[in-house]
């Protein structure tokens, strides 16, 4: 049997949750039924996405038990693709702006830490061409799908592989997950983005119910100009990430200092090796708890790793203190 290459380990973890908690069809609350995991290769590194899936359980709802995925997922990668949209945008720029061959594109990506084959580069280049060719007015299937759901919720995001180059702007429908329009623009000016949104609005057979994007000022002004009166929800993930940035370094330093204080756990374990008495079992249990706390990272920006480690070590220290107060140290 041919030997297969070992899959790359994720270096980035992101937990995504739908921002909408009410069913877009009947308005009743949706429940978080399960979570999916997805690994995507991006320019920043191999990313593990944990996706919370919501569903409506009202029997009369037209979307009964239909999965509602996180809105931000489509800004990372296309459905059923293992490479991120930023990789697709970079491949398109290398091909059409710099006129590089497929082997040269692959070598460039490998140099940036993206493990990819020449065949995968060719397939992703096809996806880039398809994205730029997407037009709502020319897709009968898409128009029928949107007409059936009665409205669209637009997600707007721009992907720029490198500073100073073209930006691939993608407009998706959150409810169906379909890409409605994709276009490369040399800038992110309000007028260019407003034209993009106006084109989607003119070709869409149903009204635009809402828009989701990051807090970029040109996007906010473009939405206000092209879609007046349409609710505009700014992405909560971007808000949280920016809010956590000032304390990220402090939290990372705190975690490093906490780890220094408990590195002697291995020496404690060695002293209990070869023993099967109850005291040794308790010692091994506490050491295992400390090891688990050290390896269980948080998920910023909602869960700071340093604060999470401090909380778990505080619980362990409290348990040791209660055991000592009951005379555990005197018996040992």
Q: Quick one: pLDDT at residue 227?
A: 92
Q: Are 22 and 55 in contact (CB under 8 A)?
A: no
Pairing between β-strand 31-42 and β-strand 12-16 as defined by DSSP bridges: unpaired
Per-residue buried b or exposed e for 225-256, using 16+ beta carbons within 10 Å of the residue's own CB: ebbeebeeebbebeeeeeeeeeeeeebeebbe
Q: How far is CA 311 from the centre of its chain?
A: 26
Q: Quick one: pLDDT at residue 300?
A: 60
77 Cβ contact partners less than 8 Å away, ≥ 6 residues apart: 38, 40, 42, 83, 84, 85
Confidence of residue 3 (pLDDT cuts 50, 70, 90): very low
Nearest C-alpha neighbor of 151 from the set 120, 133, 174, 170: 174
Confidence of residue 31 (pLDDT cuts 50, 70, 90): very high
DSSP state of 111: H
pLDDT at 330 over 60: no
CA gap 297, 38 in Å, rounded: 18
Of all residues in the chain, the percent with pLDDT exceeding 90 is: 23
CA gap 105, 38 in Å, rounded: 25
137 Cβ contact partners less than 8 Å away, ≥ 6 residues apart: 143, 203
Q: Quick one: pLDDT at residue 180?
A: 86
Q: Using only C-alpha atoms, what is the Rg of the chain?
A: 25
Helix axes 305-325, 278-295, angle to 10 degrees: 160
251-300: pLDDT as tens digits: 777 888 888 878 778 788 788 887 888 888 888 888 888 877 777 666 66
Give the full edge-to-edge strand order of the sheet including 179-185. Answer: 179-185, 167-173, 152-159, 208-213, 232-234
Q: Which stretch of DSSP H or E encloses residue 117?
A: none
212 Cβ contact partners less than 8 Å away, ≥ 6 residues apart: 19, 71, 153, 154, 155, 156, 174, 232, 233, 234, 235
Please state the φ and ψ torsions of residue 9, each to the nearest 5 degrees.
-80, 140
Helix axes 305-325, 236-261, angle to 10 degrees: 40
pTM here is 0.50
Give the full edge-to-edge strand order of the sheet including 12-16. Answer: 12-16, 45-55, 31-42
DSSP state of 182: E
| CA–CA distances in Å: residue 122 to residues 97, 126, 127, 161 | 16, 6, 9, 18
pLDDT at 332 over 80: no
14: β partners: 49
| Of 41-50, 163-172, 225-234, 309-318, minimum mean pLDDT range | 163-172
Tokens of 6: 């070992």
Confidence of residue 94 (pLDDT cuts 50, 70, 90): confident
CA gap 69, 176 in Å, rounded: 10
């Amino acid at each position: 049997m041919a030997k297969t290459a070992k899959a790359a380990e994720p270096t980035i973890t992101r937990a995504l949750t739908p921002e909408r908690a009410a069913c877009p069809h009947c308005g009743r609350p949706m429940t978080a039924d399960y979570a999916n995991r997805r690994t995507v290769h991006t320019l920043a590194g191999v990313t593990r996405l944990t996706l919370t899936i919501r569903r409506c359980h009202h029997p009369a709802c037209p979307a009964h038990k239909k999965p509602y995925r996180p809105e931000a997922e489509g800004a990372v990668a296309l459905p059923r693709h293992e490479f991120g949209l930023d990789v697709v945008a970079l491949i398109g720029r290398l091909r059409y702006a710099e006129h590089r061959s497929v082997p040269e594109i692959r070598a460039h990506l490998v140099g940036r830490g993206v493990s990819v084959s020449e065949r995968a580069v060719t397939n992703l280049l096809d996806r880039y061409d398809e994205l730029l060719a997407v037009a709502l007015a020319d897709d009968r299937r898409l128009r029928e799908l949107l007409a059936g759901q009665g409205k669209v919720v637009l997600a707007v995001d721009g992907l720029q592989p490198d500073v100073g180059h073209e930006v691939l702007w993608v407009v998706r429908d959150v409810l169906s997950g379909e890409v409605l329009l994709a276009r490369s623009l040399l800038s992110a000016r309000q007028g260019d983005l407003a034209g993009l949104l106006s084109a989607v609005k003119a070709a869409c057979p149903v009204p635009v119910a809402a828009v989701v994007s990051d807090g970029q000022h040109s996007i906010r002004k473009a939405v206000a100009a092209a879609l007046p009166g349409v609710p505009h929800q700014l992405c909560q993930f971007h808000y949280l990430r920016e809010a956590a940035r000032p304390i990220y370094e402090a939290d990372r330093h705190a975690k490093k200092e906490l780890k220094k204080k408990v590195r002697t756990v291995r020496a404690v374990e060695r002293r209990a090796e070869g023993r099967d008495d109850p005291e040794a079992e308790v010692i091994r249990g506490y050491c295992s708890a400390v090891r688990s706390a050290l390896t269980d990272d948080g998920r910023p920006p909602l869960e700071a790793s340093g604060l999470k480690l401090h909380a778990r070590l505080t619980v362990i220290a409290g348990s040791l203190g209660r055991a000592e107060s009951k005379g555990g140290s005197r018996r040992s």
